[in-house]
Structure 1
Amino acid sequence: MVSFERETEMLIEQLVTGPRESDLISIFGMPGLGKTTLAKKLYNHEAIYNRFNIRLWCCSSQTYDKRALLFQLLGHISELDDSTKNMSNDELAEKLYKHLKRKRYLVVVDNVWSSEAWDDIKRPFPDDDKGSRIILTTRLESIATYAMISSSPHHLCLFTEEESWMLLKEKVFREGDCPQELEGIEDQKVPVKKLIRLWIAENFVEASTTSKSLELVAMDYFMDLISRNLVMVAKTNSLGEVKAVHIHDLIHEFSLMKAKSGNFLLRIHNQFVIIFPSSQGRSGHLNIVEPTCAVSSGQNITTLRFSSSVNSPLVDLDFTRSWKHLRVLDLSSVNLRKTLVYALQYLIHLKYLELQQLKSLKVGVSELVPALDPYGFEDFTYPSNLKKLTLVNLKLSWIKISTIGRLSNLEVLKLEQHAFKGRQWDVKDGDFPNLKVLKLMDLGFSEWTASDDSYPNLQQVLMQSCWNLKEIPESFGSKCTMQLIEVRSCPSIESSALKIKEMQIEEMGNSEFKVNIWKWKSQIFSEKVV
């Protein structure tokens, strides 16, 4: 293989040179990279054959069997007669120790899964200052580090893109060129932030007994997967933090197989599918590879996502009749019909929603829902091209509005009936860069601050029933784009609205600026124009 020549040359040098004391070289990496293949290449190399008096090989497993390993090792030395087969484990270990004593040996222990197993395996290997060597392979970096003597563990990495491409062309196309239409195919990279949000929405993350947030607990899970080489880092930022990952094809196929056998995931290609409730009432996950397929019902489905598609077709799913158990809905690869968007309001258990190609969105919770999971509506991935957004009765923390403030195309924002909770809303520099209309109705906050560089294109502010709010940000008085402030049943902010009008007319020369104040009288609004 392309890269193993370099790996082999480097590791042979470590094996045949170095200290007289016994040493261990561990090779670790994710499954399918060729750890065993590389170990065999070293084991059978001419320089190794000439260097060591005895070469032994054994293969461990996730279910550790000491006796089987001892038989494997002794089988390389002599034939296993009946007397040997009848020995106890201690007697077998002693026999192996005596065979290796005062000899320069090489032992390969393939596929070690635990530190306890390694502690047991290594006992019959003497150190007589003969320059003996041990090669250990494992998927787990923690095991490779634990077993280290002098030499540092060797991380067997994936081929570089150039090496992989050269190998593919060599094996598949021989001397010919690769068809141009295949040149752009790459593995999918998944953002870490998205994965963590999905895990939380799926209830895969258990709350910590300490004060750790669910996000930090999920990140611990994530780093553990990376250390076990089950997930590969695809992208990092300038600080070295992992931003995106992908997985090896072997792990992907194995995961799909296990998910299917456990009735956990149904993966659909281009076909019509009818989903019936399972007899045990067990919920599942539905991944639609070809969005052109039709799905008639999702009674017990908790996760629905569409895989990437070139055409981003329109989809039709009747959320008003079924799909009521959905917690995760990923529609980022498809376009939605208007009726489908409206029907999202019926998904009362939804915790994660990802959309694209949507210009207007309303998200709300019925007052009939007794209590919301704190992560119920905090992890929406808003479409970057969203122009109009209405949030109703979500009771989110004001901190969460920063994500909305970064939507560069958002022009109309309506926050109604306790969409956010908390005493203070602080708007930072650059937030809401293209917002033109802001409507705030029945919100319980009392303080609202906005920097001079926020809301640079704001034109209209519509306020209703914000009884606790003390004043409108004074910075609105110096915004040349402002046209109107309308106040309904917010007595505490009337004076600040009039002050902003004064600043707009006298300081900004904006004679067209208006303030409309509506007062509540006898169950009807009586208009007062200022």
Structure 2
Amino acid sequence: MGDDFMKFWKLLTKPYSKLTVVSIVGMGDIGKTTLAKKFYDEFTAHRFDVRAWVTVSQEYREQEVLKQLLNSIRGLNYESREESTEKLAENVSKSLKDKRFFIVMDDVWKIKSWNRVKNLFPDSNNGSRIILTTREPRVARHASRVFHCYHMRSLSVEERWKLLQRMVFGEKECPPQLVNIGRAISGKCKGLPLVFVLIGGLLYKAKKKLDYWKYVARNLRSSRNTDYNILDFIVFIYNQLPHHLRACFLNMGVLPEDYEIRRSKLTKLWVANRFIKPDRSKSLEEVAEEYLKDLVDRNLIVVGQWSYSGEIKTCSIHDSVRYFCLMKSKQEKFNSDVDYLPGVHDNLRQVSILTDLKNQIPKFALGDNRDLRVPSVTFFFRNSLNDIHFITNFWLLRVLDALTIRFEEFPVEIVELVNLRYIALTYWMKHRFPASIAKLCNLETLIVNPGKFRSIFNTSFLSPEIWKMARLRHLLFMRSYMPHPTDALMGRNIVSLENLQTLGNVINFRWTKEVHDMMPNLKKLVISFEHDGQTKWSSYCFDNFVYLHQLEILKCFFFAKSYLKYQDPLPVKFDFPQKLKRLTLSGCRISWKNMTIVGSLSNLEVLKLKFHAFEGPVWETNDGEFRRLKLLLIHMTDLEHWKVDETHLPSLQHLSLRYCYNLVEIPSRIGKFPTLKEIKLCECSTSLVSSAKVIREEHWKLGNFEFHVRLFPLGLRHYTFSSML
């Protein structure tokens, strides 16, 4: 990789002011994406105004490509936005105009895919660059000049051994007793980086066991350099996989090509599908996290994004690994991805529906598809669908993942599927959530996305029957009124939701002692309070949050009616549980003097302060506060002066300031924090931007080119379902 990197560096950094497209060409799994990613991470941050990464894939979907571009360029979530292709394309061009940009178009298969987007990238004669990776030489020749194409080669014998060592031992030396057998293993591998990544993951889990290394060397077949023989290696690795991980691994084949799934969703699906073995000392979700980490350590699952607190945020699998998962799943009738429904086998474990089935559904509903025993159905196409009665044919269904489909009304048919454990739907809850949902006595996860942007500030009402659903583990809505249990049940037996771990977003909910006693294992809470000018803030019992002893994530939003001001201020006493790791506060309007309440949280890693969460002209941090804080975001504030010492915030890595028009500067001492990696600014004062650039220059003088300042001169952030939850 080092030799490739230097050659590619010279090619990409030639002193051309015109927009230049440089193509990386090579067979599948040779490391094109890895090379582009290394360059993207290590070279671009401090040299370009804007950078973006988009994966195109064999099945080109223009809307998804444009949304990926906007997600990277603007730092916003466009996934759930409903805009025309023309509007999205216009937004991309506007965002890049007069900017020096660096774009990676990864995995481009067809000339027409490049032709559809190439005109979006303006040439401002400022040295902008585009990297395009492809297996097809003709695509590279079409997009780039001949001397701007870089053809990747297979690894040499010595490079193979060095790469395998790095995969297994990192920076440490290989133990002498393993060198000869290790060289034998690397000699049997193809000169493709993916093979070494996978074999390296296998040996990493075996640590330094000589007998196992010999076993691998004996049983690993050498293979010629053909695309499909990489499956031989994946088959071998799969056969070494512990049985408890196999279902989770094969489940990844359900995902579309190059699809990144959020860790939190993936683990919920594994739990609902009963892939996780119970452990008395841990929750099912905690065990699922361990399974995921094990598969990541084996390099079978690839981490897409890490959270600011160091946890896996999104993940995916390599195309060749996905291909194996699909083949193996079909052999074992584990799952199937379909472009049509008629003829679905009734002994499959999962069905993944990848394309629009509007024309196929009538055939399916009237066909020979009664009493299907498929326990999991996932939709990935985006469209509206009002008729879903065919789903009742899946009478053993445990998982219905239909977030990508928009329903105008709640599909009441699903309440007949009493085995359901996981439901994810997109529909506008105009009124009260149906009481019939209580029929689903096995339901563990219920996720409802409003889908339409205009609906996120509208509200709905949860039915009192929600308190009868004792198995619920995760309950996620946009904005809903949840009846207090004593009001809802009116003296009837109260069911304890002791399994509930996630609750949000509930409005004006009274957090009384009865409530936190009924939810003793709550780990994530999203709650909103809307001030009506009459109700006292104290009636919501904020100080009882401290009794949620398992709570790790809290998002708390305060709103006033448009015609009201905060005449009744929030109480200064605002206690939080000590286990809290991530805290978002919005609209609280508490004085900065009371920030010690938050600063004393010893486990806090992420703090987001939005819409005047704290008010006043001066904030001065104190010794001993925010010892573990890694991310600090301040969004819209009247703060003018921020006083901080070099010993404060000793773990801070990311600082994000948005709409801080009054803040004069970032304290220069923040620039001396050894842990600081990034400053993000959006719509801030000129002097504030200048102070950030001074900090950047100081880091660069010290050779720390990984530190960067990102500027986003954009409009207000659009709220989405994921950002609220």
TM range (shorter): 0.3 to 0.5
Q: TM-score under structure 2 normalisation?
A: 0.35
Q: Rg: which structure is higher?
A: 1
More helix by share: 2
